[in-house]
Amino acid sequence: MKYAHIADCHIGGWRDPQLSDLSIKAFELAIDKVIEEKVDFVLLAGDLFNTSLPAVDKLKEATRKLKQLKDNDIPVYMIAGSHDYSPSGKTMLDVLENAGLAVNVCKGEEKDGKLHLKFTIDKKTGAKITGILGRMGSLDKNYFENLAREPLEKETGYKIFLFHALLTELKPKNLDKVDSHPLSLLPKNFNYYAGGHPHFVHNEDMKGYGRVCYTGPLFPNSFSELEELGNGGFFIVENDEVKRISIKLYDVERISIGCNHDTAEQAEEKLRKALDKDLKSKIVTMRMSGTLESGKPSDIDFRQLFTEAKAKGAFAILRNTSALTSKEFEEIKVELSNPEEVEEKLIEEYIDKDSVSLTKELLKTLDTQKQEGETVYVFEKRLKDEIDRILR
Amino acid sequence: MSVKGLIISGEFGKVLARQKSDQPLEIGELLIGGTEKKILLQVTDLLYGSQISQQNLELISGISLEENSPVEFFDQNLRNYSLAVLKSLITISKGKSKLAKELPKFLSEIREVKKEDLSFITQPKNPLYIGKMRSGSKTLDVDISLPGKKVFSHHILIPATTGRGKSNLTSCILWNCLDKEYCGILVLDPHDEYYGRNDLGLKDHKEKDCLTYYTNNNPPPGTNSLRINLNIIRPGHFEGVVYWSDPQRQALHAYYKKFKDRWIEAIILEKPLDVSFMEGTMAVVKRRLLSLLDLDWTGERLFSNGIFTLKGGESTVADICNDLESAKTVIIDTSSFSGEVEILIGSLISTEVLRRYKNYKLNGDLVDKPVLNIILEEAPRVLGKDVLEKGSNIFATIAREGRKFQVGLTAITQLPSLIPRQILANMNTKIILGIEMAPERQAIIDSASQDISDSDRNIASLDIGEAIITSNFSRFATPVKIPLFQDLVKSSQQTDLKTSFTGIKK
């Protein structure tokens, strides 16, 4: 048995037009590799698209590649991820399934409050595949908590479980404030746990479970991921051996410049020197940090320097100067690592100290989503009661 | 109003009362003396009284025993009776209380205490419910709550002999504060008894989302397996866990200085340093690290077998601290770990918690944070005199200065006498359950927040679930009846929420 495990393609993910094509290109390369490797089937562990209704041009390319898999008799088994799931049911994944290009394995029914999942059996190999979709804000936790585990755990044969969630035990330090699920929520005794959602690579045989894998993104989906990962990839599993296939579109040139005690001119010179190298067909990530002795970050002529770098053949240049400050004026600069941190920083900057916690609590409450099965009236009442409590 | 006796003699703190024959008194019983200005009294001792001389009593008993002749007294109740030694606790006037400073009137009546007499006992801010007020073995319908936020940060001691209800009391406290926003509690649970894996426990609380449980023994669904990355351990975390010689300690720090997060790996893989240590020193350090952290070294690669891992577990300590800061209760099942590993885990978390709270204080954010409390079973393992003589540890630091940073300890022990007097005195609330050993009672009496020097017998006679609270935050040493945990759980109603699973295909 040989299969591919792909996750977090985030097709259509980048806003930058140059980079936005790279996620679909990475997908195309991955599918080519999968066909070349003659795998029996492909697992897509969520977030094939960056939204539930992706742009038509991206969709067109993605369906073309999925059709190629179908033509090569390679079935695709998938689950929805936190980005391409839609609570209203309006997701392009359903269209793909109805067109016979992929099978959503997140199938089951509710009996006495418990979720009874069904296995999808791969005809060629007999592999039994099931899984649970991923939802924003860890709303999928409810599915895991109410899962009828025993039938899943007792099922014999080669079993694969797809999930789209961050496991607490594998959470890196920088994600400590991100919602996660404990490993114990997964059903036991599966041969392979195909994970998606967190953008890091992990492959480990976990006691009482089986092989638990995260492929990381197929193509880095942010500045920091480009810096950290350089390129994306996926796994090919053959006879329980897991091999990582790297998808390299462009080399990444990482530039990091410390500018403490520099003038704006000196910082610009440092950047000029750092860019004075072979940048042909490279994606350049440029991070500058520190406090300028004189001048402002805006005094640095990034546009000119980047135009020169582009002229040398650089494919794209991304800059992050959020940690570059000036003594001349204090502008609020926030590391754009996640929206919560940006929000928190801005609240602390603009609101008097006594009201910070109140504001945070209000924002958190207003961010509450309507629960499954909750009527609009009940939801509104719950929200009003909670706000009353906070303001009191 | 049933009169229970009459004040007949004594001195302040040792008032003697004659008991009414049909109104038996018990050790620890609460009584009321006076009318307008009431005095709350407590029985501290009981003794016999008789109008018949000792010589005659001996003769009468001899007749009864040796000649098998029944003994009958004329006016029996007037001739033989019981006397009670009473202690004044507080004076109650117009629903307010103050410390007692006067004697009850001579030959005045004393009666049993009623709920109305105790109306001065009101609900404090951030109440932590402990139990019902107790008078001897009778339970009064008066709730006893402590000001939770203050009590948790000023440390709690729960001393008791085995079987007197330490676990039940701790379970009740945890249950009652699980949904409270003013406190986050860390429980190092060496007997895996508080979560309730196979029985009733905190998992049955309706606010179970406020509970996080870590275990490595087949974690029940939804609970966490404990996994801590080696990279987050620092040499300081071993203080009070492992006793290193000076050269060994210097070696740990030298490796940390050079290799930072990867220092343990560097020691085991024998990576070179700029300074040199004796081969024997390094061999011992390496062997002890391998054993304590349950690591294997094949000569080329390092493997982890236990909770300390090379992969994952990087955010575990941060996750736990985040939960505590969100006023959650975190239970860590340490039943499968050695004492050293348990203390190392506690040290890792406590060090981080204290560091964070010190920072909050510096930044002026501490007031918005919940108070944190760390529950330590068999506390002398980390707070014992012999342990602290070898070197201080994070728990002793918290016991000394944690109060200033809203971090407190709850020390549970059978042997309070092993804890240094200075630390015992810092435990500002003591919930005393039955203690049979006199030296242990004395250690508690000597360090109590109220004068309970005459409560030795009272403490010895405490039955299962009966307790005395002495605290800086209560007016007098308060006798309480702790509820049975099972009753507490059963009395709380659970409502099942309807679940739905959108997105699941049929």
Beta bridge partners of B303: B296
State mean pLDDT over A108-130. 94
B500 assigned to some structural domain: no
What is the spatial distance between Cα A72 and Cα A40, in angstroms, rounded to a whole number?
Answer: 10
What is the spatial distance between Cα B285 and Cα A116, in angstroms, rounded to a whole number?
Answer: 52
CA distances from A271 to A251, A259, A277, A283, B193 (A): 19, 10, 11, 16, 60
- Arithmetic mean of pLDDT over chain B: 91
User: How close B493 gets to chain A, by Cα (Å)?
Assistant: 19
CA atoms within 13 A on the CB side of A361: 14
Quick check: B208 pLDDT over 60? yes
**CB distance B221–A147 less than 8 Å?**
yes
Beta bridge partners of B158: B412
Interface of A with B in 97-156 (CB under 8 A): 104, 106-110, 113, 115, 117, 133, 135, 142-147, 149
User: Is any Cβ of chain B less than 8 angstroms from the Cβ of A271?
Assistant: no
Nearest CB among A89, A108, A173 relative to B318 is that of: A173
DSSP 8-state code for residue B185 = E
CA B45, B46, B52, B57 dihedral sign is: negative
Predicted pLDDT at A340: 67
Interface test with B, best of A88, A111, A168 (most B CBs within 10 A): A168
Q: Where are the beta strands (DSSP E) in chain A?
A: 2-6, 41-45, 76-79, 103-104, 108-111, 114-117, 120-121, 128-132, 159-164, 192-196, 202-205, 211-214, 232-238, 241-247, 251-258, 282-292, 316-326
Contacts of residue B505 in chain A, CB cutoff 8 Å?
Answer: 104, 106-108
Nearest CB among B225, B318, B506 relative to A169 is that of: B225
Query: pLDDT confidence of A113, banded at 50, 70, 90?
Result: confident
Q: Residue B422: which residues within 8 A CB-CB, separation 6 or more?
A: B400
Interface test with B, best of A184, A206, A348, A378 (most B CBs within 10 A): A184
Q: How far is CA A329 from the centre of its chain?
A: 36
Task: Indicate whether B260 and B177 sit together in one domain.
Answer: no
Question: Would you list the domain boundaries of chain A?
Answer: 2-247, 251-349, 353-391
**CB distance A110–B315 less than 8 Å?**
no
- Kindly provide the ipTM of the predicted complex, given to two decimals: 0.76
Nearest CB among A169, A177, A202 relative to B322 is that of: A177
Domain A2-247 in this protein, CATH class: alpha beta
What is the spatial distance between Cα A87 and Cα A84, in angstroms, rounded to a whole number?
Answer: 10
SS3 B137: coil
Residue pairs between chains A and B whose CB atoms are closer than 8 Å: 105
Contacts of residue A92 in chain B, CB cutoff 8 Å?
Answer: none
Residue entry with tokens 């020193």: B281
**CB distance B314–A173 less than 8 Å?**
yes
Task: Indicate whether B394 and B470 sit together in one domain.
Answer: yes
Instruction: Answer yes or no: are the C-beta atoms of B396 and B388 closer than 8 Å.
Output: yes
Contacts of residue A147 in chain B, CB cutoff 8 Å?
Answer: 221
DSSP 8-state code for residue B132 = E
What is the spatial distance between Cα A92 and Cα A50, in angstroms, rounded to a whole number?
Answer: 11
User: Is any Cβ of chain A less than 8 angstroms from the Cβ of B319?
Assistant: yes
**CB distance B224–A183 less than 8 Å?**
yes
Interface test with B, best of A98, A176, A193, A379 (most B CBs within 10 A): A176
Percent of chain B with pLDDT over 90: 67
Query: pLDDT confidence of A220, banded at 50, 70, 90?
Result: very high
3-state percent breakdown (helix, strand, coil) of chain A, nearest 5: 35, 25, 40
User: Is any Cβ of chain B less than 8 angstroms from the Cβ of A172?
Assistant: yes
Task: Indicate whether B256 and B388 sit together in one domain.
Answer: no
DSSP 8-state code for residue B208 = G
In sequence order, what DSSP letters do the residues of B213-257 get, joined into one string?
A: EE-SSSPPTTPBPP-EEGGG--GGGGTTTS---HHHHHHHHHHHH
Predicted pLDDT at A336: 53
Domain containing B184 — which CATH number? 3.40.50.300
Tokens of A115: 């979720």
User: How close B129 gets to chain A, by Cα (Å)?
Assistant: 23
What is the spatial distance between Cα A13 and Cα A19, in angstroms, rounded to a whole number?
Answer: 9
**CB distance A144–B221 less than 8 Å?**
yes
- pLDDT per position as a tens digit, B354-378: 999 999 999 999 998 999 999 999 9
Quick check: A368 pLDDT over 80? no
Q: Where are the beta strands (DSSP E) in B380-440?
A: 407-413, 429-432
User: Is any Cβ of chain B less than 8 angstroms from the Cβ of A373?
Assistant: yes
User: Is any Cβ of chain A less than 8 angstroms from the Cβ of B496?
Assistant: yes
Task: Indicate whether B429 and B486 sit together in one domain.
Answer: yes
Residue length, chain B?
Answer: 506
Task: Indicate whether B158 and B220 sit together in one domain.
Answer: yes
**CB distance B315–A144 less than 8 Å?**
no
State mean pLDDT over B279-306. 89
Predicted pLDDT at B443: 93
Predicted pLDDT at A327: 75
**CB distance B311–A109 less than 8 Å?**
no
DSSP 8-state code for residue B402 = G
What is the spatial distance between Cα A151 and Cα B428, in angstroms, rounded to a whole number?
Answer: 53
Quick check: A334 pLDDT over 70? no
Q: Across chain B, which distance is largest between two alpha carbons, in Å?
A: 98
User: Is any Cβ of chain A less than 8 angstroms from the Cβ of B505?
Assistant: yes
What is the spatial distance between Cα A184 and Cα A188, in angstroms, rounded to a whole number?
Answer: 8
SS3 A299: helix
User: Is any Cβ of chain B less than 8 angstroms from the Cβ of A360?
Assistant: no
Q: For the beta carbon of residue B315, count every other beta carbon within 10 angstroms.
A: 27
B505 assigned to some structural domain: no
Predicted pLDDT at A19: 87
Predicted pLDDT at B223: 95
Contacts of residue A355 in chain B, CB cutoff 8 Å?
Answer: none
Task: Indicate whether B474 and B413 sit together in one domain.
Answer: yes
State mean pLDDT over A238-243. 93
User: Is any Cβ of chain B less than 8 angstroms from the Cβ of A176?
Assistant: yes
Nearest to B482 by CA among B468, B497, B465: B465
**CB distance B225–A182 less than 8 Å?**
yes
Nearest CB among A107, A110, A185 relative to B505 is that of: A107
Q: Where are the beta strands (DSSP E) in B21-174?
A: 30-33, 38-50, 80-93, 96-99, 109-112, 127-135, 138-147, 156-159
Nearest CB among B312, B322, B501 relative to A143 is that of: B501
Nearest CB among A144, A168, A372 relative to B319 is that of: A168
- Arithmetic mean of pLDDT over chain A: 89
Contacts of residue A106 in chain B, CB cutoff 8 Å?
Answer: 503-505
B316 assigned to some structural domain: no
B496 assigned to some structural domain: no
In sequence order, what DSSP letters do the residues of B18-44 get, joined into one string?
A: EEPTTS---TT-EEEE-SSSEEEEEEE
SS3 A169: helix
Contacts of residue A113 in chain B, CB cutoff 8 Å?
Answer: 496, 498-499
**CB distance A184–B220 less than 8 Å?**
yes
Quick check: B399 pLDDT over 90? yes
State mean pLDDT over B130-142. 92
Predicted pLDDT at B169: 95
Contacts of residue A359 in chain B, CB cutoff 8 Å?
Answer: none
Nearest CB among A106, A109, A204 relative to B503 is that of: A106
Query: pLDDT confidence of A65, banded at 50, 70, 90?
Result: very high
Instruction: Answer yes or no: are the C-beta atoms of A93 and A116 closer than 8 Å.
Output: no
Contacts of residue A169 in chain B, CB cutoff 8 Å?
Answer: 224-225, 227, 312-313, 316
From edge to edge, which strands make up the β-sheet containing A202-205? A120-121, A128-132, A159-164, A192-196, A211-214, A202-205
Q: How far is CA B208 from the centre of its chain?
A: 22
**Chain A residue whose CA is closest to B505:** A107
Q: How far is CA B438 from the centre of its chain?
A: 19
Contacts of residue B502 in chain A, CB cutoff 8 Å?
Answer: 87, 89, 372
DSSP 8-state code for residue B416 = G
- pLDDT per position as a tens digit, A308-324: 888 989 999 998 988 88
Predicted pLDDT at B187: 96
User: Is any Cβ of chain A less than 8 angstroms from the Cβ of B223?
Assistant: yes
Query: pLDDT confidence of A335, banded at 50, 70, 90?
Result: low
User: How close A242 gets to chain B, by Cα (Å)?
Assistant: 17
**Chain A residue whose CA is closest to B365:** A353
Quick check: B385 pLDDT over 70? yes
Tokens of B319: 């996750």
Quick check: A374 pLDDT over 80? no
Quick check: B497 pLDDT over 70? no
Contacts of residue B499 in chain A, CB cutoff 8 Å?
Answer: 110, 113, 115, 142, 146, 372-373
Nearest to A351 by CA among A338, A365, A332: A332
Query: pLDDT confidence of A62, banded at 50, 70, 90?
Result: very high
User: Is any Cβ of chain B less than 8 angstroms from the Cβ of A382?
Assistant: no
What is the spatial distance between Cα A347 and Cα A352, in angstroms, rounded to a whole number?
Answer: 9
Lowest mean pLDDT across A82-96, A341-355, B121-135, B449-463: A341-355
Task: Indicate whether B37 and B114 sit together in one domain.
Answer: yes
**CB distance A169–B221 less than 8 Å?**
no
Contacts of residue A182 in chain B, CB cutoff 8 Å?
Answer: 219, 222-225
User: How close A304 gets to chain B, by Cα (Å)?
Assistant: 40
> Secondary structure of A32-64 in the HEC alphabet?
HHHHHCCCCEEEEECCCECCCCCCHHHHHHHHH
Task: Indicate whether B337 and B354 sit together in one domain.
Answer: yes
Domain holding B56, by residue range, is 3-118
3-state percent breakdown (helix, strand, coil) of chain B, nearest 5: 35, 25, 40
Task: Indicate whether B193 and B173 sit together in one domain.
Answer: yes
Q: Structurally, how many domains does chain B consist of? A: 3
**CB distance A142–B225 less than 8 Å?**
no
Residue entry with tokens 């009864």: B64
- pLDDT per position as a tens digit, A157-185: 999 999 999 999 999 988 888 889 999 99
**CB distance B499–A142 less than 8 Å?**
yes
Q: For the beta carbon of residue B350, count every other beta carbon within 10 angstroms.
A: 27
Contacts of residue B500 in chain A, CB cutoff 8 Å?
Answer: 110, 372-373
pTM of the model: 0.82
